[in-house]
Amino acid sequence: MLKRPRTPRRSRRTADVDELLRLAAGLAASCTRAEDEFWQEALAEVVGNLLADGEEDTLNAALDGLAQADGEAWNELANEIETACESTQLSVDGQPWQVVLVAAPLLSWSRYAIPSGALGASLLQTLRVQLGAHVLAHNVKFAMIDYLFSPDQLPQGFSPTYQLLQELAPLAPQNGTLSLAGLALPETTPFLSDVRYVLLAVAAPLGSPLFRWQEEDGERREAEQQWQKQGASALTPVFAGCAMEALLPQAYFAAWRSADRAARAYSVRATVAFLQLTLNLEARQISAAIAACHKHKLEEYRIGFMLDRGNEVVHGVVWPLLDGEDEHTDCLADIETVLRECGVSDITVHDHTFPTDYCDDCGSPFFPNADGELLHTEPPPEAQEQPQQHLH
């Protein structure tokens, strides 16, 4: 499913939209590899040109046009757009090379600020060694970006993602570094738990393996475990005062999607751990209430945390629906499982629907208590996160 970046709406080229719809429908209806390739090539060319021109809105208009009408064509177009954003080809000494944008997601929580921003040269070198040893195939070349990205700082849209890879890819055959350290990227919104990303572009001759697990003696699970151990320990100095868990580095959109998924349970666990640590409590003193919040349809679940069976909500976690999920997805079972694993067994699941209400003053979401009221969080003084105190 598509991981759609947030993006502003601009112009809309009708003829291009029609052409995208025609090619995506052709590809969706095709049932043999030779015909697939014909449509894919034609679609790749139109998509590539639109990305290069920054015609974000045209791509989104075509996706919107297909969203209700033709699910299969929507998938084909979405795949093609993601592929065109995260992969490209280069000529190296006259040979065709493939280059893929890769993201290494890191889950973290802290009562203080989670780091983001410039990565120093020696740390970058250590990461390069760890990525090369555990995650990437032996003979690849790769370029890194000297920046630890928060979600707000990632390229916001298909075209900016495409542009970033176009900048990074030519540096890959020389194992280069793209320096963004001097750029003023957007401020990071502080949260108790969040995701950070290290980005790289991996290059190899066309047809050669890019990742360790594509090699005969490689394995995805082993790569992930080694990276979690070694890669994470290389990053420990940066994440001082934070808990941190590394996820498997993967192609950009897949990594982003798996981080979004993992971040939901992680933020529940982070909240329970945070409350226990800062308030010196046991998990059984914490209770939780879960509300299904709707705008026009189900948007997200909100989990309110209370202490000693009180009515005040001391902390909250938003569990967003991900692409492809709806009211029929059993998110509630997942949420309850995570809570119980954390030792929280006093759980109220409200069976009516709630609005997606936010505080007018600070914009933070309201969370349910056991009585079914949606409330502003009121953390006890000891459990206020340093970076985001909203006292009003």
Cβ(236)–Cβ(229) below 8 Å: no
Cβ(86)–Cβ(98) below 8 Å: no
Residue 363, helix vs strand vs coil: coil
**Taking CB under 5 A as the rule, does residue 362 contact Zn ion?**
yes
Which residue lies nearer to Zn ion by CB, 207 or 381? 381
Q: At what angle do helices 158-168 and 33-52 cross, to 10 degrees?
A: 90
The CB-of-316 to Zn ion minimum distance in angstroms stands at 12
Which residue lies nearer to Zn ion by CB, 52 or 362? 362
Which residue lies nearer to Zn ion by CB, 225 or 389? 389
Integer angstrom CA distances of residue 291 from 79, 143, 189, 369: 33, 44, 24, 9
Q: Residue 283 gets which letter from DSSP?
A: G
**Taking CB under 5 A as the rule, does residue 361 contact Zn ion?**
yes
**Taking CB under 5 A as the rule, does residue 388 contact Zn ion?**
no
- The site for Zn ion, by CB under 5 A, has a size of 4
Tell me how crowded residue 77 is: count the other CB atoms within 10 A of its CB: 26
Which residue lies nearer to Zn ion by CB, 46 or 375? 375
The CB-of-377 to Zn ion minimum distance in angstroms stands at 8
**Taking CB under 5 A as the rule, does residue 359 contact Zn ion?**
yes
CA 285/CA 303 separation, integer angstroms: 16
**Taking CB under 5 A as the rule, does residue 217 contact Zn ion?**
no
The CB-of-335 to Zn ion minimum distance in angstroms stands at 24
The CB-of-367 to Zn ion minimum distance in angstroms stands at 12
Instruction: Report which residue's Cβ sits closest to Zn ion.
Output: 359
**Taking CB under 5 A as the rule, does residue 44 contact Zn ion?**
no
Which residue lies nearer to Zn ion by CB, 318 or 359? 359
- Options 37-45, 277-285, 308-316, 360-368: segment touching Zn ion (CB under 5 A): 360-368
The CB-of-390 to Zn ion minimum distance in angstroms stands at 5
Cα 7 versus chain centre, distance? 15
Half-sphere exposure of 285 (CA within 13 A, CB side): 11
Instruction: Output the six-digit token pair for 330.
Output: 């059993």
Q: Residue 358 gets which letter from DSSP?
A: B
The CB-of-360 to Zn ion minimum distance in angstroms stands at 7
- Options 17-25, 78-86, 143-151, 384-392: segment touching Zn ion (CB under 5 A): 384-392
- Options 125-133, 172-180, 334-342, 362-370: segment touching Zn ion (CB under 5 A): 362-370
Cα 109 versus chain centre, distance? 16
Cβ(321)–Cβ(299) below 8 Å: yes
**Taking CB under 5 A as the rule, does residue 390 contact Zn ion?**
yes
Which residue lies nearer to Zn ion by CB, 133 or 359? 359
The CB-of-194 to Zn ion minimum distance in angstroms stands at 19
Integer angstrom CA distances of residue 3 from 52, 193, 260, 347: 19, 21, 10, 31
**Taking CB under 5 A as the rule, does residue 391 contact Zn ion?**
no
The CB-of-357 to Zn ion minimum distance in angstroms stands at 11
Which residue lies nearer to Zn ion by CB, 121 or 362? 362
Which residue lies nearer to Zn ion by CB, 89 or 311? 311
Residue 316, helix vs strand vs coil: strand
**Taking CB under 5 A as the rule, does residue 332 contact Zn ion?**
no
- The dihedrals phi and psi of 252, each to the nearest 5 degrees, come to -45, -55
Integer angstrom CA distances of residue 151 from 106, 188, 197, 198, 250: 11, 8, 8, 11, 16
Site of interaction with Zn ion (CB under 5 A): 359, 361-362, 390
